[in-house]
Amino acid sequence: MAFFDVGPGLQLELIQPNEEPSTWREFLDEHGEGVHHLAFNVAGMNMQQAVDNCKEFGMTLEQKGEYGSGDGRYAYLSATKDLKVLIELLESDKK
């Protein structure tokens, strides 16, 4: 994994999955190399409400969890039908 801050509010993540099961391994096996997801910070919005909003647009929740020491949450939603990528929502409790 490599993370690059390329501008205010813009980060590029390069991820090379290993052979262990993961959303990244599954994508690589099914589609080859390419854009896996676009991430959006949902600061100031309830994560569940953000997920529900995406579902209203036809996206389906694929995976969710916490990161760090439990001070943040993420959700991957499939938007592959319309956008050809997954959407990642990020919510952090850190100020």
**Tens digit of pLDDT for each residue in 21-64?**
988 899 899 889 988 888 888 887 889 999 999 999 999 999 99
Whether the per-residue pLDDT at 9 is higher than 80: the answer is: no
Report which residue type is found at 49: Q
The pTM assigned to this predicted structure is 0.78
Q: Are the C-beta atoms of residues 36 and 62 closer than 8 Å to each other?
A: no
Q: Are the C-beta atoms of residues 80 and 86 closer than 8 Å to each other?
A: yes
Whether the per-residue pLDDT at 95 is higher than 70: the answer is: no
Query: What pLDDT score does 16 carry?
Result: 92
Q: Tokens for 17?
A: 């999955």
Query: What pLDDT score does 62 carry?
Result: 92
Whether the per-residue pLDDT at 83 is higher than 90: the answer is: no
Q: How far apart (Å, rounded) are the C-alpha atoms in residues 57 and 61? A: 12
